[in-house]
Amino acid sequence: MDLLQLVRVANFLGVNARPPRTHPNAAKIGILGASQVSTYAVIWPSRHLETANIAAVAARTEGRARMFAQQHGIPCSYGSYKELLADPNVDAVYIGLPNGLHGQWARRALESGKHVLCEKPFCTNAAEARELQSLALKNGLICREAFHYREHPLATRLREITLGPPCRNPEAPTVPQWMAPPAVAGGAGGLLGQLESIDVQVLIPKWVFGDANIRFLEELAGGAMMDAGTYAVSIMRLLTGSEPCVESASASMRPGSKVVDGAMRARLSWDTGIAGTLHASLQHDGWLPVTQVQVEGERGSLMCKGFIVPFFGHSLRVTTKQAPCQSEGRSVGLGGSNCSGRSVCLARSSRQAITISWSVSRRICNC
């Protein structure tokens, strides 16, 4: 890790963070859940943006919400989620609650006229996801899943390598590049030619969450696949541009549970002939997390490490049959060198007229 990476980590952790900005035209964001993920997902990044202000936070108790608000300089706090949703000063909400609560509070937020940025997984099943997307479209609201890595320039670069440049739509100029369809259909327009295989690992060391974390509760839709596994499926769909079919899957269950997985391995296939494997785990034996994707094509291959939090630093190595190895690395921030991208997409969605039909199926397929 070099000095610039250390600076990025320090910024991300809020070291020497500036007071929250109060730009008059910024999107006013309310947070559901006084949680750790809310801190690093939206609060710290928002301090580097003039287009996003954290306006309020809600927790299950008034005392918890007030303490969290004082700690992070948030002007309003509420002792219930309903109270925040009734605040006319809030344009959009970030939902950082446990998995099993995402769907119901996303629904209530949309019914209250708020745009939604919801932590992954967006919902606990596809039917619930379809229902919420229909509600968002009906009400003309943005409802997005918080895969922050897709807002980083690395995601655009990876997709260009595997699928080629995006097809520009002049009628939707604000649509992120990773959402635009490739100019060449069929997955053969990128540097690697026709794609042959994709293998993803998202392994979180067991010491990170311990044994009593809410991520392992059945009633809250816990488990490795609903956590680390969502990133694996997301990056596979991003880089292939199409939907996979599950050939086989094998779960390592949590001790004492018959339904909550601590790790998951799966084999997938695509109609275009691509073969894929994923390994997601919340009980990895190593000391450091592993987040990497490897893609093989008829004309070459790529290996990317650190794709989930690329603003901490990442590596991208591309090897082609026509040329020697090519390497890319480091990190380019979006809206600030430590910005995760979550606040960026929510602020943009709240204040600009963006069509949302292009994102309907993407989060449904992740559920």
Distance CA 280, CA 263 (A): 6
Work out the average pLDDT over 228-239.
Answer: 96
State residue 359's pLDDT score.
36
Confidence of residue 122 (pLDDT cuts 50, 70, 90): confident
Banded pLDDT at 354 (limits 50, 70, 90): very low
Q: What is the band of 36 on the pLDDT scale with cuts at 50, 70, 90? A: confident
Residue 73 has pLDDT above 70, yes or no: yes
Q: State the pLDDT confidence band at 181, using cuts at 50, 70 and 90.
A: low
Q: What mean pLDDT do residues 239-243 have? A: 94
Q: Is the model's pLDDT at 12 over the cut of 70?
A: no
Query: Looking at the predicted structure, is the pLDDT value of residue 350 above 50?
Result: no
Residue 156 has pLDDT above 70, yes or no: yes
pLDDT of residue 217: 83
- Pair 141, 119: CB distance under 8 Å: no
Q: Residue 173 above 90 pLDDT?
A: no
What residue ranges do the domains of the chain occupy?
Answer: 3-147, 153-332
Q: What is the pLDDT of residue 255?
A: 82
pLDDT tens digit string along 273-294? 999 999 999 999 999 999 999 9
Answer whether residue 172 shows pLDDT above 80.
no
Give the 3-state secondary structure percentages of the chain, helix then strand then coil, rounded to 5.
Answer: 35, 25, 40
C-alpha R_g of the chain: 20
Of residues 102 and 21, more confidence is placed in: 102
Tell me the CATH number of domain 153-332, given options 3.30.360.10, 3.40.50.800, 1.10.150.120, 3.40.1160.10. 3.30.360.10
* 68 close to 76: Cβ distance less than 8 angstroms: no
- Cα–Cα distance between 224 and 202 in angstroms, integer? 10
Whether 155 has a pLDDT exceeding 90, the answer reads yes
The answer to whether 210 touches 266, Cβ cutoff 8 Å, is: no
Residue 89 has pLDDT above 90, yes or no: yes
Please tell me the predicted confidence (pLDDT) of residue 182.
Answer: 62
Residue 189's nearest CA partner among 156, 157, 155, 166 is: 166
* H runs (alpha helix) in 52-145: 62-72, 81-85, 102-111, 126-139
What's the mean pLDDT in 206-211? 86
b/e string for 74-93 if b means 16 or more Cβ within 10 A? bebbbbebebbbebeebbbb
33-56: average pLDDT? 86
| % pLDDT > 90, the chain | 56
CATH among 3.40.50.261, 3.60.40.10, 3.40.50.1970, 3.40.50.720 for 3-147: 3.40.50.720
pTM: 0.80
pLDDT confidence bin for 367, thresholds 50/70/90:
low
Q: Where are the beta strands (DSSP E) in the chain?
A: 27-32, 52-58, 76-78, 92-95, 115-118, 143-145, 195-205, 245-253, 261-269, 275-284, 290-297, 300-305, 314-320, 326-330
Contact 84/58 with Cβ under 8 angstroms?
yes
Mean per-residue pLDDT for 29-44? Answer: 90
Residues 365 and 146: their CA atoms lie apart, in Å, by 15
Give me the torsion for CA of 107, 112, 116, 122, rounded to 10°.
-10
Q: Which of 33-37, 132-136, 175-179 has the highest mean pLDDT?
A: 132-136
pLDDT of residue 356: 28
